[in-house]
Amino acid sequence: MQKQSNPDSLIAYNVLNKKIIRHGFCTLCGACEAACPVGALQVESEKVNRLHDCSKDLDLCPICYEICPHSEALQLRALKSVSDAPAKHEALGYYRKIVLAQAVDPQLREQSRGGAVVTSLLTYGVEKKLFDSAIVSQAEADNPSKPKASVALVPDDILSAVGSKFFPSSVAKAYGSAVYGYGKTKIAFVGVPCHVLALRKMEAWQHKLGNSLAITLGLFCFGSFSMTPLLEYIQKNYNVKPSEIKHMRLSSKFVVQTANDVIRIPIAEIEKHILPSCRTCTDFTNELADISIGSAYPLEDWSTVIIRTKAGEDFFYDAVENGVINTWVMEQEPNVYERVVRAAIQKRNAALKEAKTMEEKFGYLPVLMLRESDALAQVKVEDVMTRDVKTVPQNMSISDLLDLMTRQHHVGYPVVNDEGVPVGMISIEEAAQIDKARREKTLISQVMHRKPAFVNVGDTALDAFKKMSKHEIGRVLVVDPENPKKILGMVTKSDLMHTMIQCTPC
Ligand SMILES: Cc1cc2nc3c(=O)[nH]c(=O)nc-3n(C[C@H](O)[C@H](O)[C@H](O)COP(=O)(O)OP(=O)(O)OC[C@H]3O[C@@H](n4cnc5c(N)ncnc54)[C@H](O)[C@@H]3O)c2cc1C
Ligand code: SF4
Ligand code: SF4
Ligand code: SF4
């Protein structure tokens, strides 16, 4: 007899469908398909299909909603995968090292049109049997800009995935088939931040799929495009068929390469085709990956590499010592560092702004995790503040300030006068807006934000968070109410995030 749908069942799919899929927030990663215990979902043809109604078999299942990277569930627990790193950067997340790197093989760099660090690391790992497979996004034969998520078993599979494709790739689905289909147990995974988050959520959920994850290589990501509308737009306006596109590349413009032509499309022109989820996504540098990799513009064939975990560090330097990867010090390239940090800050700020609009429209906020917990109300600022506050004098030049930021990996400082009294705040965003030619002669006092925000040493971390939100800033100074001119400490948004991670049970 046909089983009836159970209207009283607590089935995560109902929430997934209502909050994520129907509102267009799905980025087609396939994590819900891979993790579903009864095979009820299938990600195919740019949508999530429900193959059968799981409520006929189950009364309760929380999995697909919790594991979806666009739900608020498990976000803080997922962050625990990297939070034992010795350093934490306000804009770039937890890290051990930030370096420049490139594949030693120039042919690979040519093929990747970047540093080819991902391809070299994966090839090295598979050849040395450090992992048994890798999840990559190859190009579809009849539509080379379309990613085809696949399980790479040998170096040739990895080589055929070189280069970026700017459309959604169902890499978490491919990860599921590596485990269930191929029986793989030590898998290297490559993906953009929402892909890596889905995998980290599987680990945090203690889903059995999580046990097979060996290493995550995370790509930086500004956003991904909705495939069919963008390809139709390019065909209509530039007369290029999808099958004629050899590859796409992102620089100051969106570059489409065919056999005979190169088309440069202004980003503003195609911005409307960026996926809705990307507009509220705060993570540019893939903050949960073992190793994060992005471009090193303006250096053409180098990549920026952020090493976050011990496993990532050991693997990366093993590859360096074995002559697969060249490295270079970031401190020698302040331009690269400045661009990465600014891109991360800009993406986060734009996402938080958009999230507020979406909250009004949809009645919930996809990304503002900090509001979810009352943990901050239980903690005093003096317990989370940085006591050794680095300040800068108001008469320092902007070029010296930017050098200092690159060396110390800070993105903002309190500014003090000759008496050491705080007179303002300066961030990398304000400093980088000054024309390069004018940086030597421009002083901090000319560009700084003149109203530093303060909290008292007895206030709670929640008070500090409210002040940051009200003033739309990332840090507040902590002072003694008896002597408000003396800085006792500083609290940043990332300090608050760290506090919440520590308060979250495993
Ligand atoms: C959608 C998207 C947006 C990006 N935006 C930025 C950005 O704004 N700024 C920036 O610095 N870098 C961005 N990147 C990362 C950048 O394009 C490079 O992927 C990165 O620098 C690694 O370069 P590489 O030469 O080491 O990679 P390669 O050695 O060429 O290897 C690239 C790897 O990426 C994987 N891949 C390709 N397309 C996808 C996809 N759609 N989904 C998942 N995996 C994929 C392939 O499997 C391949 O293994 C973006 C990447 C993507 C996919
Ligand atoms: S059974 Fe599958 S589709 Fe249903 S709620 Fe669970 S994970 Fe989602
Ligand atoms: S888990 Fe992935 S495929 Fe499933 S709804 Fe969420 S984003 Fe879409
Ligand atoms: S911007 Fe965020 S949501 Fe969009 S593809 Fe990149 S990581 Fe995923």
Ligand nearest to the CA of 281: 4
**Ligand 2, atom nearest to 41 Cα:** 3
pLDDT attached to residue 379? 85
Residues 6+ away with beta carbon under 8 Å from 126: 133, 134, 152, 153, 154, 155, 158, 188
What's the gap in Å between 224 CA and the centre of ligand 4?
6
Q: Is residue 224 in contact with ligand 4, taking CB distance under 6 Å?
A: yes
Alpha helices in 213-333 (DSSP H): 227-238, 267-270, 276-279, 310-321
Q: Which residue has the higher pLDDT, 6 or 97?
A: 97
pLDDT of residue 163 exceeding 80: yes
Per-residue 3-state assignment (H helix, E strand, C coil) for 179-242: HHCCCCCCEEEEECHHHHHHHHHHHHHCCHHHHHEEEEEEECCCCCECHHHHHHHHHHHHCCCH
CATH of domain 374-503: 3.10.580.10
Atom 1 of ligand 3 has which residue's CA nearest to it? Answer: 68
- Tell me: the pLDDT tens digits for 5-27? 666 568 899 999 988 999 889 99
The arithmetic mean of pLDDT across residues 248-267, rounded, is: 91
Q: Is residue 204 in contact with ligand 2, taking CB distance under 6 Å?
A: no
Q: Is residue 292 in contact with ligand 4, taking CB distance under 6 Å?
A: no
The arithmetic mean of pLDDT across residues 376-395, rounded, is: 89
The arithmetic mean of pLDDT across residues 202-212, rounded, is: 96
pLDDT attached to residue 49? 96
Which residue has 């055929």 as its token pair?
Answer: 160
Q: Which residue has the higher pLDDT, 360 or 494?
A: 494
According to the CATH classification, is domain 10-75 in 1.10.3470?
no
Distance CA 75, CA 164 (A): 26
pLDDT attached to residue 234? 95
Q: Where are the domains of the chain?
A: 10-75, 84-350, 374-503
pLDDT attached to residue 9? 62
The arithmetic mean of pLDDT across residues 103-124, rounded, is: 95
Over the range 268-279, which residues count as b (16 or more CB within 10 Å of their CB) and which as e? eebeebbbbbbb
pLDDT of residue 213 exceeding 80: yes
Structure tokens at 64: 């697909």
**Ligand 2, atom nearest to 55 Cα:** 4
Atom 6 of ligand 4 has which residue's CA nearest to it? Answer: 223
Q: Is residue 38 in contact with ligand 2, taking CB distance under 6 Å?
A: yes
Residue 31: enclosing H or E segment and its boundaries?
Answer: helix 31-35
Distance CA 145, CA 5 (A): 41
Atom 5 of ligand 1 has which residue's CA nearest to it? Answer: 221
pLDDT of residue 114 exceeding 50: yes
What's the gap in Å between 219 CA and the centre of ligand 2?
29
Ligand nearest to the CA of 172: 3
Q: Is residue 11 in contact with ligand 2, taking CB distance under 6 Å?
A: yes
- Which of 92-96, 268-272, 315-319, 451-455 shows the lowest per-residue confidence on average (mean pLDDT)? 451-455
pLDDT of residue 471 exceeding 50: yes
Ligand nearest to the CA of 169: 1
Q: Is residue 217 in contact with ligand 3, taking CB distance under 6 Å?
A: no
Distance CA 439, CA 302 (A): 26
What's the gap in Å between 221 CA and the centre of ligand 4?
6
Structure tokens at 125: 């790992």
pLDDT of residue 400 exceeding 50: yes
Q: Is residue 36 in contact with ligand 2, taking CB distance under 6 Å?
A: yes
What's the gap in Å between 63 CA and the centre of ligand 3?
11
Ligand nearest to the CA of 31: 3
3-state SS class at 310: helix
Q: What are the DSSP E strand ranges found in 234-385? A: 247-250, 254-257, 262-265, 291-296, 299-307, 325-329
Average pLDDT, the chain: 90
3-state SS class at 397: strand
pLDDT attached to residue 369? 46
Residue 354: enclosing H or E segment and its boundaries?
Answer: helix 334-362
The arithmetic mean of pLDDT across residues 383-408, rounded, is: 92
pLDDT attached to residue 365? 54
The arithmetic mean of pLDDT across residues 146-169, rounded, is: 96
Residue percentage of the chain with pLDDT more than 90:
66
- Tell me: the pLDDT tens digits for 416-443? 999 888 899 998 888 988 999 999 999 9
What's the gap in Å between 218 CA and the centre of ligand 3?
18
What's the gap in Å between 173 CA and the centre of ligand 2?
15
Distance CA 290, CA 267 (A): 30
Tell me the whole-structure pTM to 2 decimals. Answer: 0.89
pLDDT of residue 117 exceeding 50: yes
172: buried, middle or exposed (CB in 10 Å: 19+, 13-18, 0-12)?
A: buried
Q: Is residue 126 in contact with ligand 1, taking CB distance under 6 Å?
A: no
- Tell me: the pLDDT tens digits for 289-312? 999 999 999 998 999 999 999 999
pLDDT of residue 486 exceeding 70: yes
CB 216 within 8 A of CB 289: yes
CB 201 within 8 A of CB 229: no
In the chain, the largest separation of any two C-alpha atoms, in whole Å, equals 84
